[in-house]
Amino acid sequence: MKKKVRTYSATDQEVRMLEAIATYHGFSRSAMLTSLVKKEFWRIFPAGTDDVRPDAGARIQDSGEEP
């Protein structure tokens, strides 16, 4: 039996779930993870942090503001 090597911790089912979502969106698993992390980061920190600033010209929206 060949051993599976991963650089992150996930169950086989979680890897299959990630693969399904990535395939649906046309991304690689790595690109899908990056996309999800970015989406969650900007949801939690819409104005960025001390170390991570929004791109120049980015529209910063308060969570209570209508799009």
pLDDT at 21 over 90: yes
Provide the H-helix boundaries in 7-56.
Answer: 12-25, 29-44
Residue 17: which pLDDT band, with cuts at 50, 70 and 90? very high
Q: C-alpha distances in angstroms, 18 versus 6, 10, 26, 58?
A: 13, 10, 12, 29
**Global pTM?**
0.67
Task: Report the Cα 30 to chain-centroid distance in Å.
Answer: 9
